[in-house]
Amino acid sequence: MEILNKKQKIILIIIVGCILLFIGYYIINKASNSGYIELETQNNEYANDTIENGIIEEDTVLENRDIVVHVTGAVHKQGIVRIEQGSRISDVIDSAGGITDEADLSKINLAYTVQDGQKIYVPNINDKEKVNTITEDAGENVIEDSNSKTEKININTASQTELETLNGIGPSTALKIINYRNENGNFKKIEDIKNVPGIGDAKFDSIKENISVK
């Protein structure tokens, strides 16, 4: 005598088939979700890296942008010179075609870092007196047009927009200055701005003539 009749066998086969289909669907669905989560995680990590790199690239572009200075005196090509930010007076002279035979380099500091908008005069051996004014920071080594002086920016009260007018200070760095100021209080001296992440000696040298803590 058979334990199961024909009808019961068919029902049993259908039940077993449904169970196998359910198990197969569960396994496939779980594998698909796992792959999706992994892909989403990778995409998020890529997006974060892109944002961080974007900020770095922005600061790098700002730090490497060109500046414009006006060079006159004992050089072969007087006039406007466009050079890379952080360049020295020696670089300005090279861009102006070099010095003439009448140049007196003993009266100028060739290693001085120039800033955007300055007027640099290369002394002549026949000069009997100094031309224009002399910057306090450079002593008697750099001569620039007194009209190039502008009002200094108070880094304790300046807005983000005002800070962005400084050489090499972009939106992200300006925001870092404001955040540092809010967290640590006012800067005691202009050198304290070097405590802000992203502002090193080179960047400080390029803005120190244009900032104050008054």
The tens digit of pLDDT for each residue in 34-89 reads 555 555 555 555 555 544 555 444 444 444 588 888 888 888 988 888 999 888 88
Higher pLDDT, 54 or 125: 125
Q: Has residue 2 been placed in a domain? A: no
C-alpha distances in angstroms, 167 versus 3, 10, 62, 147, 160?
A: 93, 84, 8, 18, 14
Same domain, 161 and 137: no
Q: Has residue 119 been placed in a domain? A: yes
Distance CA 110, CA 75 (A): 13
Overall number of domains in the chain: 3
Q: Is the pLDDT of residue 97 over 90?
A: yes
Higher pLDDT, 28 or 134: 28
* Helix, strand or coil, per DSSP, at residue 67: strand
Same domain, 195 and 165: yes
Q: Has residue 18 been placed in a domain? A: yes
Same domain, 51 and 92: no
Instruction: Label residue 26 by pLDDT band (50, 70, 90).
Output: confident
Q: Has residue 1 been placed in a domain? A: no
- What DSSP string describes 127-164? -SS--SEE-TTTTTS-EE-GGG--PPEETTT--HHHHT
Q: Is 134 exposed, middle or buried (0-12, 13-18, 19+ CB in 10 A)?
A: middle
Q: Is the pLDDT of residue 134 over 60?
A: no
Q: What is the mean pLDDT of residues 19-33?
A: 77
Q: Is the pLDDT of residue 99 over 80?
A: yes
* Helix, strand or coil, per DSSP, at residue 25: helix
Higher pLDDT, 100 or 59: 100
pLDDT of residue 47: 52
pLDDT of residue 8: 76
Range of weakest confidence among 9-13, 76-80, 164-168: 9-13
Mean pLDDT, the chain, integer = 77
